[in-house]
Amino acid sequence: MTDHPSKTLAAFAANLRFEDIPHEVVRRAEDLLLDWFGSAVAGKGARPVEAIERFARHMGPDSGAAEVLIARRRTSPLFAAMVNAASSHVAEQDDVHNGSVFHPATVVFSPALAVAQELRCSGRELLTASVAGYEVGIRIGEFLGRSHYKIFHTTGTVGTVAAAAAVGRLLRLTPEQMLDAFGSAGTQAAGLWEFLRDAADSKQLHTAHAAAAGLTAAYLAKDGFTGAKRILEGAQGMAAGMSREPDAARLVDRLGQRWALAETSFKFHASCRHTHPAADALLQVVTEHKLAPDQIASVTAYVHQGAIDVLGPVVNPQTVHQAKFSMGTVLGLIAQFQRAGMKEFEDHFNDARVAAFRSKVTMVLDPEVDGAYPARWIGKVAVHTVDGRMLSGRVDEPKGDPGNTLSREELEQKALRLAEFSGGASVHEMQTAFHQLWDIEHAPTVGYFLT
Amino acid sequence: MTDHPSKTLAAFAANLRFEDIPHEVVRRAEDLLLDWFGSAVAGKGARPVEAIERFARHMGPDSGAAEVLIARRRTSPLFAAMVNAASSHVAEQDDVHNGSVFHPATVVFSPALAVAQELRCSGRELLTASVAGYEVGIRIGEFLGRSHYKIFHTTGTVGTVAAAAAVGRLLRLTPEQMLDAFGSAGTQAAGLWEFLRDAADSKQLHTAHAAAAGLTAAYLAKDGFTGAKRILEGAQGMAAGMSREPDAARLVDRLGQRWALAETSFKFHASCRHTHPAADALLQVVTEHKLAPDQIASVTAYVHQGAIDVLGPVVNPQTVHQAKFSMGTVLGLIAQFQRAGMKEFEDHFNDARVAAFRSKVTMVLDPEVDGAYPARWIGKVAVHTVDGRMLSGRVDEPKGDPGNTLSREELEQKALRLAEFSGGASVHEMQTAFHQLWDIEHAPTVGYFLT
């Protein structure tokens, strides 16, 4: 155990080489990159994302080396990172690391791709930098822990440092500069859950902010701008201000041996990840017993405390985005369509039958589920049928978790559905992008996708 | 007392009219604006500030309607706000509001001027918007209180919302939009004191970030982007995450009757405000008793806890900026030169005699001083002389506080010294700017100062 974990972690990020990363972790990084690309394209047309894009147009340069995917234009890396991070988080289809409750792709790939395009980096450099961002961000999320997540949107806060790690690696920062970048990123860490109560647009602002702030921190560090050397663990650092139970050992947990990136889950349902275990468990029950929604009298979802904290305030969702944080809506869609995808949310989240289903759903804190969380996200439901049966469902790994992952074909299908939903790219364009992305390891320069 | 203070405060900022502001408050706002201008010019050449300016050049447009004062160039308001906010906070000569321990000018005038230039606002609109920013920011600082300031740099955190209020007023946001802007600003609130321990460059990043984030929030709100409606007081809002003793009544304290802007202090010494009361008290002793430094055996500075929190870690300052947070250095300069200005710090902070004086200085927590803080910043010192005398000094209002303020001539002299120090503008340029600034109330459009 080091007495200066920020430094150890920064040195790891600065020194990581492509050759150090196991083959299967590289493959998984490619999977996550393609999955992120689909989510980024999915954000086209979403009101909050388009507002951020208009702001970027207003304030940023109208040419540059980095690509804004939803706008098919190029600008400076700062604004490409900002808009791509907003757009890749709005569909709630981007990846998640269970143990840290952190969405790495949106805050890592968005700035990394923008900077790799500007610097004309190779695909291997992009992959290496992205792995650095994942490993750093996930460990900081675990370090700050559950008390942090109760108030703060970990992806927004921790995302600043994850973004700085990825961009810093592309900029070839020295370990000392990387530590400076961590300091400048962590001191900009922000993102509060308060917006959920009002179904406000902040979630995309959080990722846009994290990507931009982390990128800023890394570029400044390259230019000699210094930062706090213990921004994570120091007496007036991130944990001191924003966690009640920081665990510094997590920051340096088996660096170079444990690949946290490979623990990251793909999202299958188009909703907040906290709804997925119960959704899969209910899907199991309705499939096995061929239940129609009107045969269901009530559903009890046995959940962890974090689900209650995040989903609890959402009682009567007014927007598609808010509905993705409504357990009743998600389970209503599963009962009705055996699916809670983008299309089901968009077309049906407030159908009379789905809305009526909400009052049938109760969340109950479950000691087993809560004890396993966040390392494992167990799904347990009890279904009371109208005819008096009590049926139970259980999943130990929701669909998309590493032990129940998506194949490359499933990932492509998911990305195609997202692109079709938003109109962000044609099937042909997506397939061309898939070809580039699956072969990114061999790309001498990363190149462009939609411009 | 309202049950929705964020809304009340946002409505106040949105609805504030020039005619509502008392004449003497407008005059003081002009004083503060001119004082800010001097600080902004003073940042020219400072390494961290120039790094942020280079970043702005790299990422932002090379033309636009807003002026970067230290670079004599124009760009978009986002980058002008960012660079001017960095430059106006580096000399530690910008204003401070005692009760909130918040530096309003740097995070209010920087974005407000940039946006007023873009929108071709009148001087009255600029003044009105700036008053809104001060009133909002100061009240939020008071609301978050001392527990917040122990870990967080209030100017960085609260500054986001103060900037949003000022910019939002210039954009003529409705009260509802202003509340959205508060939500988007507050959810980006960030800034940790950890950097002080390493004399790192984060302080200027905090103000740059706050100005940029607040401006972003206001522009997004104008475009329909929504934010949390209770970002200040909500269960997962700023106070919930970053304060242990929030006092919601402070948020709406006598809105429209109490003008917190007029309580703001000008800085006289070029150091952290926490050193000023003791510096003035020591100056009183050395002047009255005509003491030379080598006649002083020891100095005890009786201080409030906040001074110990912020200054305590700075034992052996390595840079000019860090020296401004060293009580021993400040008192050493006072003993040696009867002055702790920019020039004294730059040329003498680490002189052998000043460095030796540090070990003579002890800070002691004083119940009277601590009890009066932050409403009043009392200075008390006890000086032991080499010849065995015990002399005491006391000031109830340090120089620059509202009851002991600087005249317009003193403000001009201070600004001229700052400009001369940095080489940021000639005497003639400064005098031309003074002429514009003292008459800003009557300017049909705000205009430019150095471009």
Which of B186, B205, B228 shows the shortest C-beta gap to A187?
B205
Q: How far is B249 from chain A (nearest CA, A)?
A: 20
Neighbours of B23 (CB within 10 A): 8
Query: Do A127 and A75 have their domain in common?
Result: yes
User: Lowest mean pLDDT: which of B4-13, B40-49, B267-276?
Assistant: B267-276
Judge if A66 and A143 occupy the same domain. Answer: yes
Say if pTM beats, i.e. exceeds, 0.90. Answer: yes
Q: Are residues B435 and B294 in the same domain?
A: no
Measured between beta carbons, which residues in chain A are less than 8 angstroms from residue B192? 186-187, 228, 231, 236-238, 240-241
* Residue B163 located in a structural domain: yes
pLDDT-derived band at A156 (thresholds 50, 70, 90) equals very high
Q: At what angle do helices B104-119 and B23-42 cross, to 10 degrees?
A: 90
Query: Is the sign of the CA dihedral B296, B298, B303, B309 positive or negative?
Result: positive
Are A58 and B219 in contact (CB < 8 Å)?
yes
Structure tokens at B405: 């303020």
Query: Which run of H or E residues covers position B68?
Result: strand B66-68
Q: What residue numbers bound the domain in which B344 lies?
A: 273-395
d(CA A425, CA B90): 47
Q: What is the pLDDT of residues A339-363, one digit of tens each?
A: 999 889 999 999 999 999 999 999 9
pLDDT digits (tens, 9 = 90+) for B83-108: 999 999 999 899 999 899 999 999 99
CB A304 within 8 A of CB A277: no
Do residues B245 and B344 share a domain? no
Are residues A231 and A319 located together in one domain of the fold?
no
> Which of B141, B170, B166 shows the shortest CA–CA distance to B153?
B141
Mutation target vs B (from A47, A115, A187, A310; most B CBs, 10 A cutoff): A187
Q: Report the distance separating Cα A127 and Cα A378, nearest Å.
A: 31
Residue B315 is predicted with a pLDDT of 86
Residue B376 near chain A (CB below 8 Å): no
* Residue A88 CB partners (closer than 8 Å, separation 6+): A36, A39, A40, A42, A43, A94, A105, A106, A109, A110, A207
- Average pLDDT of span B384-409: 95
Q: At what angle do helices A154-170 and A202-222 cross, to 10 degrees?
A: 30
How close, in Å, is residue A145 to chain B by CA atoms?
14
Q: Hey, which residues does B381 pair with through a beta bridge?
A: B301, B393
Contacts of A201 in chain B (CB under 8 A): 184, 220, 225-227
Q: Is B147 on the interface with A (CB under 8 A)?
A: no
Q: CA torsion sign, B187 to B189 to B194 to B195?
A: positive
Q: Does A155 touch chain B (CB under 8 A)?
A: no
Q: What is the pLDDT of residues B240-255, one digit of tens each?
A: 999 999 999 999 999 9
User: CA A303 to CA A379: how far, in whole Å?
Assistant: 7
**Nearest residue, CB atoms, B51 vs list A51, A77, A220:** A220
Would you call A196 and B236 a contact, using CB atoms and an 8 Å cutoff? yes
- Give the best residue of B53, B155, B226 to mutate against chain A (max A CB count within 10 A): B226
Q: Which residues contact B383 (CB under 8 A, 6 or more apart)?
A: B282, B285, B286, B291, B296, B298, B299, B390, B391, B392, B393
Predicted confidence band at A1 (pLDDT cuts at 50, 70, 90)?
A: low
Residue A21 has pLDDT above 80, yes or no: yes
Would the pLDDT of B351 be above 90? yes
Whether chain A has a CB inside 8 Å of the CB on B186: the answer is: yes
Q: What are phi and psi of B78, to 5 degrees?
A: -55, -45
Find chain B residues with C-beta within 8 A of A183's C-beta.
194-195, 198, 200, 202
In this structure, the answer to whether residues A277 and A263 fall within a common structural domain is: no
Name the DSSP class of A394.
Answer: E
Is the pLDDT at B209 greater than 90, yes or no? yes
Which segments of B304-378 are extended strands (E)? 361-365
**Token couple for A332:** 């209503």
**Residue A241's closest chain B neighbor by CA?**
B151
By percentage, how much of chain B surpasses pLDDT 70? 100
Residues B15 and B79 in one domain: yes
Cα-Cα-Cα-Cα torsion A288, A294, A296, A301, nearest 10 degrees, comes to 90
- Which residue, B114, B121, B46, B124, is CA-closest to B84? B114
Mean pLDDT for A168-195 is 98
User: Is residue B402 included in any domain, yes or no?
Assistant: no
Using a CB–CB cutoff of 8 Å, tell me whether B189 touches chain A.
Answer: yes
Residues A243 and A340 in one domain: no
Residue B401 lies in a domain: no
Q: Looking at the structure, do residues B191 and B241 belong to the same domain, yes or no?
A: yes
Do A379 and A280 touch, CB atoms closer than 8 A? yes
Q: Report yes or no on A448 lying in a domain.
A: no
Q: For chain A, count helices (H), then strands (E).
A: 19, 6
**Do A143 and A188 touch, CB atoms closer than 8 A?**
no
B192 touches chain A (CB under 8 A): yes
Partners of residue B202 in chain A, C-beta under 8 Å: 183-184, 187, 227-228
Q: By the 8 A CB rule, do B54 and B64 touch?
A: no
Q: Does the pLDDT of residue A321 top 90, yes or no?
A: no
Q: Is the pLDDT of residue A2 over 80?
A: no
B168 touches B112 (CB < 8 A) = no
Does A402 map to a domain?
no
Q: Kindly state whether residue A157 falls inside one of the protein's structural domains.
A: yes
Do the domain assignments include residue B448?
Answer: no
Tokens of B195: 């950097």
A-B CB pairs within 8 A amount to 210
Q: Taking residues A62-74, what's their average pLDDT?
A: 98
Q: How confident is the model at residue A315 (pLDDT cuts 50, 70, 90)?
A: confident
All residues of chain A having their beta carbon less than 8 Å from the beta carbon of residue B193 are: 236
Distance from CA of A74 to the nearest CA of B (A): 12
Could you tell me if B48 lies within 8 Å of chain A, comparing CB atoms? yes
Count of structural domains, chain B:
2
Check CB contact under 8 Å for A76 and B62. Answer: no
Does B202 contact A213 at a Cβ distance shorter than 8 Å?
no
pLDDT at B1: 55
- Distance from the Cα of B79 to chain A's closest Cα (Å) equals 8
Chain B residues in contact with A216 by the CB 8 A cut-off are: 55
Cβ within 8 Å, pair B198-A236: no
Structure confidence at residue A356 (pLDDT): 94
List pLDDT tens digits, range A185-206.
999 999 999 999 998 999 999 9
DSSP state of B173: -
Tell me whether B228 touches chain A (CB under 8 Å): yes
**pLDDT value of position A375:** 85
What pLDDT does B375 receive? Answer: 85
Residue B147 domain-assigned?
yes
For residue A344, the domain's CATH number is: 3.30.1330.120
Cβ distance of B194 and A220 shorter than 8 Å: no
The 3-state DSSP class for residue B158 equals helix
Which residue from B minimizes the CA distance to A209?
Answer: B188
Q: Are residues A9 and A45 in the same domain?
A: yes
Interchain CB distance below 8 Å, A59 and B51: no
- Residue A137 forms contact with B (CB below 8 Å): no
Q: Are residues A143 and A93 in the same domain?
A: yes
Please tell me if residue B10 touches chain A, with a CB cutoff of 8 Å: no
Based on the domain organization, do A46 and A127 belong to the same domain?
yes
CATH number, domain at B148?
A: 1.10.4100.10
pLDDT of A283 > 90? The answer is yes
* Mutate: best of B55, B58, B59, B115, partner A, most A CBs <10 A: B59
The whole-chain average pLDDT of chain A stands at: 96
